[in-house]
Amino acid sequence: MPETRQRPATTGHRPIEAGGGIEAHWHDRHQIVYAGRGVLSVTTDAGRWVVPGTLAIWIPAGTLHQHRAYGETTLHTVGLQQNPLKLDTPSALGVSPLLRELILTYTSAEAEAGGADPAERGRLLGVLLDQLRRSHERPTYLPTAQDPRLLAVCELLTAEPADGRTLTELGREVGASERTLSRLSRAELGMSFPQWRTQLRLHEALRLLAEGESVTRVAHSTGWASASAFIDTFRRAFGHTPGSRRA
């Protein structure tokens, strides 16, 4: 990802058209990023997060990153001088219904225009951060491989997430054994290769759902054996069904 200029870690919201985004940048303050509508991806040099409205992304100060929207998206951001979460790397955090309303209110047009009472706004931020501290990290991170052999396999599946070939079969195409690729997956991706493939398919599923595809079609397009298997995996990953995500 090419390095670019610093941007202020502002608090507010902005619409982003489907397929649009914000080019690579970094902030001198920490930032909470949330999609009040649509699905948002956050990409760093280390990998990518794709998040629906049940998740927010914590981006520490100095992290080079870029955004992309899937479906009509409203981006909400909260800039912070302090690091109340004590997290030094980007993380996906669960957003409860209460936390969602707090983020939407704190980043509202009235707040941006300075119409809110400063003391009231300070209390609102305090409750928002209290709720954020209670949020659990969710596994939506898709790390990027460094070894050219593993990277080649990852690129094959990124181009066709429904590709059902085994790691042994994929290894033959890139000139590496299943054992070598499994070892590299653990070392570079921090997870097994089947776990990484599931994450990739979930990312693609979020994108397709945001673009209006049916649950059955998304399940088929992303390589699940059945719609029920897809729904079960999606629920365990995001805490809700893909049907409710579309709604």
Task: Tell me the chain's radius of gyration from C-alpha atoms.
Answer: 19
Global pTM reads: 0.83
pLDDT along the chain (247 residues), means of 10: 68 92 93 93 87 90 93 93 89 93 88 70 93 85 93 96 96 96 96 95 92 93 95 88 68
Q: Mention every residue, 6+ apart, whose C-beta is less than 8 A from residue 143.
A: 46, 47, 188, 189, 190, 191, 196
> For residue 179, with 0-12 CB atoms within 10 Å meaning exposed, 13-18 middle and 19 or more buried, which class applies?
exposed
Q: What share of the chain is helix, strand, coil (3-state, %, to 5)?
A: 40, 25, 35
Report d(CA 68, CA 206) in Å as an integer. Answer: 13
Could you say which architecture CATH assigns to the domain 12-133?
Answer: Sandwich (2.60)
- Tokens 């999606």 sit at which residue? 234
Residue 143: in which H helix or E strand, if any? strand 141-143
Stretch(es) of the chain classified as CATH 1.10.10.60? 145-246
pLDDT (0 to 100) of residue 247: 43
Q: Mention every residue, 6+ apart, whose C-beta is less than 8 A from residue 79.
A: 8, 9, 10, 11, 27, 29, 30, 31
Q: Mention every residue, 6+ apart, whose C-beta is less than 8 A from residue 113.
A: none
Half-sphere exposure of 116 (CA within 13 A, CB side): 16
pLDDT, one tens digit per residue, over 4-42 is 677 777 899 999 998 899 999 999 999 999 999 989 999
Stretch(es) of the chain classified as CATH 2.60.120.280? 12-133
Q: Which CATH superfamily is domain 145-246 in?
A: Homeodomain-like (1.10.10.60)
* Tokens read off for 170: 């994929």
